[in-house]
Amino acid sequence: MAQDKFIGGNGCFPATRWSVIEGVRSEDWAERKRALDTLCEAYWRPVYKYVRLRWNRAAPDAQDLTQGFFAELLERELLARFDAAKSRLRTYLRLCVDSFVMNEEKAAHRQKRGGDVQHFALDFAAVEDEMSSGTIDAAAIASPESLDEFFEKEWIRSLFALAVEDMREVCAQRQRDRAFHLFETYDLEGDDELSYAQLAQQHGIAVTEVTNALAWARREFRKIALERLREVCGSDEEFQREAKSVFGWDAR
């Protein structure tokens, strides 16, 4: 589809893909669902971790609340109320999560969500493994001032993870698996002692091939990450701000 394309030129990647905000305001049910699926994909992990730690909920309850929150986004059309001029989308969503959990607490006889309500296949077990590994400190969100910072960090972590998987698929489709492996080994795993020469020796290729492959991979990853970011921003202005503050990139 034309609106799903990104046009690159002079090293820039102007966004033409519909954002989730445009999607949820569409009159087309399929487009609204696509937008919610995209939003859920980017945000369910931060939401789940936030509910677990900020609201001190056990895993089963946090899973139910996470599912319920995204269902409510669709049912109550909460994204249609978002005003990009007043706040960032991630801040708005975090406040919506707080409101949702508080309202659920007030409901004396809350029923488990099910039936024909929108249900998302989410890998909660993987997130629990991540949390139990000690990489996330519950004390990091002990104060109100740190809530937005925690949510932002987890959102960035989720966004990068999705971009990496997109990159993996792109490389497989273009038969450039070696380029992805080089990128993964050198840029993602972050071994400071690893050199281009060592990579070249490991793969039996020239150093110039390593250099070219990594340059291509970094350009593609930048493009993919910006695509992911643009889709979950509420406006072009927010997209430009986030690209600069989150990734240190000028998206123009």
CA angle, corner 74, sides to 43 and 78, nearest 5? 80
Give the pLDDT score at 2.
Answer: 30
Listed ranges 153-157, 200-204, 242-246; the one with the highest mean pLDDT: 200-204
Single out the residue of 249, 171, 173 nearest to residue 214, CA to CA.
171
Which residue do the tokens 């406006």 mark? 235
pLDDT band at 190 (very low <50, low <70, confident <90, very high): confident
Listed ranges 34-43, 101-110, 143-152; the one with the highest mean pLDDT: 34-43
Cα separation values, 199 from 15, 167, 178, Å: 34, 20, 11
CA pair distance 206, 200, nearest whole angstrom: 6
Range 210-220 average pLDDT: 97
